[in-house]
Amino acid sequence: ILALSIHKVRFFSFFIPSGTPLALVPLLVLIELISYLARAVSLGVRLFANIMAGHTLMKILSTFLFQMFSSSILVAVLTLIPFALFTAIIGLEIGVHLSKLTLLQKR
């Protein structure tokens, strides 16, 4: 949308390689425009899937650790190692979110 508002009609010339026969121009513009729009949808779906996978992993691990901690004392002590790994994963998640936040604030 931003490129279309900046370049107006010339925006569609980005989809036409130099030396293209005039008869193929409408077809190439249509194919390249669909490819351009599909790329945006694909990136959105990938972003959603990655965020959803991260949240699902956190939910599964936290439920597993809660179940392990609420069992016997010996199992609870042995669960401290996976708990440390879980804490490290959460730390990485927080670090990624903070880095994204600082990148967005610099714009």
Q: Note the pLDDT tens digit of each residue in 10-46.
A: 777 777 888 888 898 889 888 988 998 899 899 889 9
Which residue did the predictor score with more confidence, 26 or 101? 26
Length of the chain: 107
What's residue 107's pLDDT? 61
pLDDT at 83 over 80: yes
DSSP code of residue 28: H
Could you tell me what percent of the chain has a pLDDT over 70?
A: 97
pTM summary value: 0.59
Gap between the Cα atoms of 69 and 45, Å rounded:
36
| Domain of 89, in residue numbers | 2-105
- What total of structural domains would you count in the chain? 1
pLDDT at 3 over 90: no
